[in-house]
Structure 1
Amino acid sequence: MSSLTITGVTKAFGTGPEATRAVDDVTLHVPHGSFTTVLGPSGCGKTTLLRLIAGFLLPDAGSIAFGDTTVAGDGVRPVPPQSRHVGYVPQEGALFPHLDVAANIAFGLPAAARGSQEGRDRVTEMLDLVELPSHFRDRRPDELSGGQQQRVALARSLAPQPAVVLLDEPFSSLDASLRGTTATAVRRALAATNTTALLVTHDQNEALSLADQVAVMRGGRLVQSAPPSEVYLSPSDPQVAEFVGRAVVLPGTATDAHATCALGEVVLSEAATGPVALMIRPEQVYVDLAHADGVRGSVEEVSYYGHDCAVRVRLDDGTSVLARMAGVRHPSAGDIVHLRVTGLVRAYRPAGAP
């Protein structure tokens, strides 16, 4: 196992003015034994970055290193994929359909070990690690559920003790309940083996709940890399705020530690002065159903999820605001409510401001 360091990596497709930079000057460090998620919308370059790390593609500029060993970069002969000691878990698992579970898991082991007692013990160890019963070793892939197939794919990638494990949206094809339990089991397996892992996803909840570090990509560039709580509470710009969880972004005017906006006066996380864009999370917008304390508005829409609900409110000045509240008691469309902001609010310079 080792750390992963990506420095100034760029990859373009096409030539001349028509060239598209899928990955643009990306620098990222994944510490040894940690779990990092690369989060971004489709087409942002996250899968291309994964393929560069695996060695399926070569960077046009920059370098990639596992620990102290540079495997690709300027002036370095690239190490081929099969020699990088990387485990790779694709979206659909990609198990060999003609092999049983045991043979799939043992596939990455040295040929001499696959049929030996050592190989059989390793398969048993990997099944236990990914929380599958030992008798599953004799099953075919088509006898497994989607979540079980993904666990076997992870076991196969971990069996040879890789330097780094790369996961390419491995839970995207699973239903919601199966996705959560499978992702948690995978995270436990990686932590138990102290494996350095990098997962790419477009699912914000997945990225925040699984990772030690979240790296947000947009348009081929890395726009923020930080612990999940920092990315959520202190996003680098309003675009990251709106992508990583819902956000209410309102224009306002700041004076030191306070600012005024359509939702009244708010307290800032950092002092600012002048015109600002204020990022407010929906759960910070308190919906008062009983008192006329706050800014008045009319409920336009309620999306009920059971444990909570999202409430869209049109303020008297025409501003539309999203609030999130517990699902135990909530308003209905057409109700008059009053809103106020709780907690600290992050302020940004408006787009185009010097």
Structure 2
Amino acid sequence: MSSLTLTGVTKSFADTRAVDDVTLHVPHGSFTTVLGPSGCGKTTLLRLIAGFLVPESGSIAFGDHVVCGDGVRPVPPQTRRVGYVPQEGALFPHLDVAANIAFGLPREARGTQSGDRVAEMLDLVELPADFRSRRPDELSGGQQQRVALARSLAPQPAVVLLDEPFSSLDAGLRGSTARAVRRALEVTHTTAVLVTHDQNEALSLADQVAVMRGGRLVQSATPSEVYLSPSDPQVAAFVGRAVVLPGIATAAHATCALGQVVLTEPSDGPVSLMIRPEQVYVDLAHPEGERAGVRGTVEEVSYYGHDCAVQVRLADGTAVLSRMSGVLHPAAGDTVHLRVTGLVRAYRPAEAP
């Protein structure tokens, strides 16, 4: 296992720059998710790391070993010691689970030793030992993805790359499979990179989240930092939903359509304020005359059981989204009062899109 370092990596297709001057460090044994919308360059970046593509400029290194760039001849994929888990798992349909897992082992290790390694890998990805004789078409989608991970981990790769491997699974299976994969990677101290467009997946699984937009890496930080302190309003709106309102800042406070808010850092003058929906408190507990906050009318309620999203239109026409508990919530047409809780991130005009 080793760390992974990309420095100034660029790749174009015709007139389109798919990956644009990306610099990223993935520490040894850590899990990084590359998050971004479709077409932002995530999969291209993964294919560059694997060696399926060669960058026009920049370098890629596994630990101290540069595999491309800096004037060195690119190391071919088969000798980079990379485990690659594609979107659909891509198991060999004519081989059983044991043969699929052992396929990536060196030829000399596929004899008697492979049985022990297969058993170890099945236990690692939390599948029963008797699955070894099953064919891929006898497995669920989540089980196939676990076998694909076991196959990639069996040869003890330097880095494991996961290309949206959970996207075809239903919500419940997706979550349980992703957590099992994360546990397996932690046990083996494997350096891993997962590309995804799912914000919940990226935030819940990663040690580090790298956000891409238009081929560029716009922020790389811990999940909590990306969510609470996004680099710009566009990242704020993409990584979790956000209410972005114009305001006027004076030192530690700012005034906007939702009233006065407290800032994470002092600022002055015109700003864009990033407010998470869960910070917008809907006052339902007090009689009409005692309610505090800005008055608005509920336009829509999206109920999810554990919580709900409430779309509110303020008197000045501003649309505001609140996320609140699903136990007690207003209905469309209700008049409510809103106020902001917690600290708010402010962006100066130069930082706004």
Q: Does TM, normalized by the shorter one, top 0.5?
A: yes
1:277 alignment counterpart: 272
2:126 alignment counterpart: 131
1:67 alignment counterpart: 63
2:10 alignment counterpart: 10
Identical aligned residues as a percent: 85
The secondary structure found in structure 2 opposite 1:12 is strand
| Aligned counterpart for 1:249 among listed residues 244, 250, 256 | 244
**Deviation for aligned residue 1:262:** 0.1
What is the root-mean-square deviation in Å for CA atoms of aligned residues? 0.8
The secondary structure found in structure 2 opposite 1:51 is helix
Deviations 1:214-236 (A, max 9, x none): 00000000000000000000000
Tell me the distance in 2 between the aligned counterparts of 1:111 and 1:194: 25
The secondary structure found in structure 2 opposite 1:270 is strand
| Aligned counterpart for 2:49 among listed residues 49, 53, 63 | 53
1:312 alignment counterpart: 311
Aligned residues: 348
| Aligned counterpart for 2:92 among listed residues 81, 91, 96 | 96
**Deviation for aligned residue 1:111:** 1.2
| Aligned counterpart for 2:116 among listed residues 121, 124, 127 | 121
Tell me the distance in 1 between the aligned counterparts of 2:282 and 2:351: 33
**Deviation for aligned residue 1:350:** 2.4
Aligned positions of 1:127-276 closer than 5 A:
127-276=122-271
The secondary structure found in structure 2 opposite 1:155 is helix
Tell me the distance in 1 between the aligned counterparts of 2:147 and 2:328: 43
Tell me the distance in 2 between the aligned counterparts of 1:3 and 1:262: 47
Which residue identity is paired with 2:50? A
* Residue 330, structure 1, aligned to residue 329, structure 2: yes
| Aligned counterpart for 2:16 among listed residues 16, 20, 30 | 20
**Deviation for aligned residue 1:38:** 0.1
**Deviation for aligned residue 1:352:** 7.9
Deviations 1:288-331 (A, max 9, x none): 01332100000000000000000000011111000000000000
Provide TM-score, normalisation by structure 1.
Answer: 0.97
| Aligned counterpart for 2:25 among listed residues 22, 29, 38 | 29
**Deviation for aligned residue 1:74:** 3.2
Tell me the distance in 2 between the aligned counterparts of 1:49 and 1:61: 13
**Deviation for aligned residue 1:351:** 5.2
- 5+ residue gaps, structure 2: none
Tell me the distance in 1 between the aligned counterparts of 2:258 and 2:106: 64
Which residue identity is paired with 1:289? L
Provide TM-score, normalisation by structure 2.
Answer: 0.98
Tell me the distance in 2 between the aligned counterparts of 1:26 and 1:258: 36
Which residue identity is paired with 2:304? Y
**Deviation for aligned residue 1:112:** 2.1
* Residue 86, structure 1, aligned to residue 85, structure 2: no
Q: Which runs of 4+ in 1 moved over 3 A?
A: none
Q: Check whether the contact 2:232–2:351 (CA below 8 A) recurs between aligned residues.
A: no
Deviations 1:118-159 (A, max 9, x none): 110000000000000000000000000000000000000000
Tell me the distance in 1 between the aligned counterparts of 2:33 and 2:191: 11
- 5+ residue gaps, structure 1: none
